[in-house]
Chains A and B, each alone.
Chain A
Amino acid sequence: MAVNVSTIQLGGCSGCHVSLLDVGKAIFAGGINVVHSYLLMDKVTDTIEAETDLLIIEGAILTNKDESLLRQMAPHVKKVLALGSCACFGGIACLGNLKSPFKGNKGNNLKEHGHKLHPLICSPKAFIDIDFFVPGCPPPADIIRDTILALIEGRPVPEIAHTVCDECVRERNYKAPSIPPGGKWKTLLEEAPDPKKCFLEQGYLCLGRQTIGGCNAGCIKANMSCEGCRGPIFLYRNFRKFSDKEKGEILKCLK
Chain B
Amino acid sequence: MSKIITIENVARIEGHASIAIYVDKYGKVEKAEYIATEPSRGFDTIFKGKHASEVPGLAARICGICYAAHNICACKALEYAWETNIPDSAKKIRELLLLANTLSSHALHTVFLAGPGLLIDGVNTITDLQKKYPDFLEAGIELRMIGQQIGEIIAGRKVHTIISVPGGVLKTLNQEEIDKILTLLDATTKSMKTIEEYTYRIINEKKDFLLSYGKIETNFLAIKQSKKLELYNDDSMELLMKDETKEYLSSSEVLERITEEEKEYSYIRHPYITSMGPNNGQFRVGPVARIQNAKWDNNVFHKFKETFGTFTQSAMSYDISRVAEMFECIKGMRDIIASGLDKDIKNVAYPKDGIGVAIVEAPRGALLHQYETDNEGIVKKARVIAPTTFHQGSIERSTFESAREVLDSKKGDCSDEDKVKIEQVIRAYDPCMSCGGATQLRIIKRQI
Contacts of B22 in A (CB 8 A): none
Q: A18 to nearest B CB, angstroms? A: 5
The listed residue (B6, B48, B267) touching A114 by CB distance below 8 A is: B267
The listed residue (A42, A65, A116, A141) touching B117 by CB distance below 8 A is: A42
Q: B190 to nearest A CB, angstroms? A: 16
Could you tell me which residues of chain A, from 219 to 250, have a CB within 8 Å of some CB in chain B? 219-224, 227, 229
Given A11-B38, A38-B12, A113-B37 in contact, is the A219-B434 Cβ separation under 8 Å?
Answer: no
Is the C-beta of B185 less than 8 angstroms from some C-beta in chain A?
no
Q: Are A96 and B156 in contact (CB under 8 A)?
A: no
Is the C-beta of B141 less than 8 angstroms from some C-beta in chain A?
yes
Is the C-beta of A130 less than 8 angstroms from some C-beta in chain B?
no
- Closest A residue to B167 by beta carbon equals A189
Could you tell me which residues of chain B, from 108 to 164, have a CB within 8 Å of some CB in chain A? 108, 112-113, 116-117, 123-127, 130, 137, 141, 144-145, 148, 152, 154-160, 162-163
Is the C-beta of A124 less than 8 angstroms from some C-beta in chain B?
no
Contacts of A215 in B (CB 8 A): 157
CA distance A42 to B167 in the complex (A): 44
Given A12-B434, A24-B141 in contact, is the A189-B349 Cβ separation under 8 Å?
Answer: yes
CA distance A9 to B12 in the complex (A): 12
The listed residue (B39, B377, B434) touching A13 by CB distance below 8 A is: B434
CA distance A46 to B67 in the complex (A): 28
Q: Are B12 and A108 in contact (CB under 8 A)?
A: no
CA distance A218 to B41 in the complex (A): 27
Highest count of chain A CB atoms <10 Å: which of B8, B152, B170: B170
Is the C-beta of B194 less than 8 angstroms from some C-beta in chain A?
no
Is the C-beta of B278 less than 8 angstroms from some C-beta in chain A?
no
Contacts of B48 in A (CB 8 A): 99
Q: Are A42 and B165 in contact (CB under 8 A)?
A: no
Is the C-beta of B85 less than 8 angstroms from some C-beta in chain A?
no
Q: Are A222 and B154 in contact (CB under 8 A)?
A: yes
Is the C-beta of B63 less than 8 angstroms from some C-beta in chain A?
yes
Q: Are B64 and A117 in contact (CB under 8 A)?
A: no
Contacts of B420 in A (CB 8 A): 42-43
Interface string of A11-27 (1 = CB under 8 A from B): 11111111101101100
Q: Are B145 and A24 in contact (CB under 8 A)?
A: yes
Q: Are A109 and B39 in contact (CB under 8 A)?
A: yes
Is the C-beta of A68 less than 8 angstroms from some C-beta in chain B?
no
Q: Are B265 and A112 in contact (CB under 8 A)?
A: yes
Could you tell me which residues of chain B, from 150 to 189, have a CB within 8 Å of some CB in chain A? 152, 154-160, 162-163, 165-168, 170-171
Q: Are A39 and B38 in contact (CB under 8 A)?
A: no
Is the C-beta of B271 less than 8 angstroms from some C-beta in chain A?
no
Q: Are B45 and A227 in contact (CB under 8 A)?
A: no
Contacts of B377 in A (CB 8 A): 187, 189
Could you tell me which residues of chain B, from 5 to 20, have a CB within 8 Å of some CB in chain A? 6, 8-9, 11-16, 18, 20
Q: Are B51 and A22 in contact (CB under 8 A)?
A: no
Q: A196 to nearest B CB, angstroms? A: 13
Is the C-beta of B35 less than 8 angstroms from some C-beta in chain A?
yes
Q: Are B51 and A63 in contact (CB under 8 A)?
A: no
- Closest B residue to A99 by beta carbon equals B45
Q: Are B42 and A99 in contact (CB under 8 A)?
A: yes
Q: Are A110 and B157 in contact (CB under 8 A)?
A: no
Contacts of A117 in B (CB 8 A): 39
Highest count of chain B CB atoms <10 Å: which of A46, A93, A101, A112: A112
Is the C-beta of B62 less than 8 angstroms from some C-beta in chain A?
yes
Q: Are A16 and B64 in contact (CB under 8 A)?
A: yes
Is the C-beta of B346 less than 8 angstroms from some C-beta in chain A?
yes
Given A92-B58, A189-B377, A192-B168 in contact, is the A115-B39 Cβ separation under 8 Å?
Answer: yes
The listed residue (A17, A43, A140, A227) touching B11 by CB distance below 8 A is: A43
CA distance A101 to B48 in the complex (A): 11
The listed residue (A34, A105, A189, A221) touching B125 by CB distance below 8 A is: A34
Highest count of chain A CB atoms <10 Å: which of B39, B63, B170, B349: B39
Q: Are B171 and A223 in contact (CB under 8 A)?
A: yes
Given A39-B112, A40-B125, A92-B41 in contact, is the A13-B171 Cβ separation under 8 Å?
Answer: no
CA distance A113 to B346 in the complex (A): 47
Q: A202 to nearest B CB, angstroms? A: 13
CA distance A80 to B52 in the complex (A): 37
Contacts of A54 in B (CB 8 A): none
- Closest B residue to A195 by beta carbon equals B171
Q: Are A62 and B41 in contact (CB under 8 A)?
A: yes
Is the C-beta of A41 less than 8 angstroms from some C-beta in chain B?
yes
Contacts of B156 in A (CB 8 A): 218-222, 224
Q: Are B434 and A14 in contact (CB under 8 A)?
A: yes
Interface string of B25-69 (1 = CB under 8 A from A): 000000000011111011001101101110001100111110100
CA distance A117 to B37 in the complex (A): 10
CA distance A232 to B108 in the complex (A): 32
Could you tell me which residues of chain A, from 75 to 115, have a CB within 8 Å of some CB in chain B? 92-93, 95-96, 99, 101-102, 105, 108-115
CA distance A95 to B50 in the complex (A): 11
Could you tell me which residues of chain B, from 398 to 422, have a CB within 8 Å of some CB in chain A? 416, 419-420
Q: Are B41 and A11 in contact (CB under 8 A)?
A: yes
Is the C-beta of B286 less than 8 angstroms from some C-beta in chain A?
no
CA distance A63 to B38 in the complex (A): 7
Contacts of B321 in A (CB 8 A): none
Is the C-beta of B250 less than 8 angstroms from some C-beta in chain A?
no
Contacts of A220 in B (CB 8 A): 156
Q: Are B38 and A96 in contact (CB under 8 A)?
A: no
Given A34-B125, A92-B61, A222-B156 in contact, is the A111-B265 Cβ separation under 8 Å?
Answer: yes
CA distance A141 to B158 in the complex (A): 8
Is the C-beta of B348 less than 8 angstroms from some C-beta in chain A?
yes
Is the C-beta of A214 less than 8 angstroms from some C-beta in chain B?
no
Is the C-beta of A208 less than 8 angstroms from some C-beta in chain B?
no
Q: Are B41 and A96 in contact (CB under 8 A)?
A: yes
Could you tell me which residues of chain A, from 1 to 60, have a CB within 8 Å of some CB in chain B? 9, 11-19, 21-22, 24-25, 28, 33-34, 38-44, 46
A-B contact pairs, 22 of them (CB 8 A): A14-B15, A14-B63, A14-B64, A14-B65, A14-B432, A15-B67, A34-B127, A42-B116, A43-B416, A43-B420, A62-B39, A62-B41, A63-B38, A99-B46, A105-B39, A110-B37, A113-B37, A115-B37, A141-B158, A188-B170, A189-B348, A193-B170
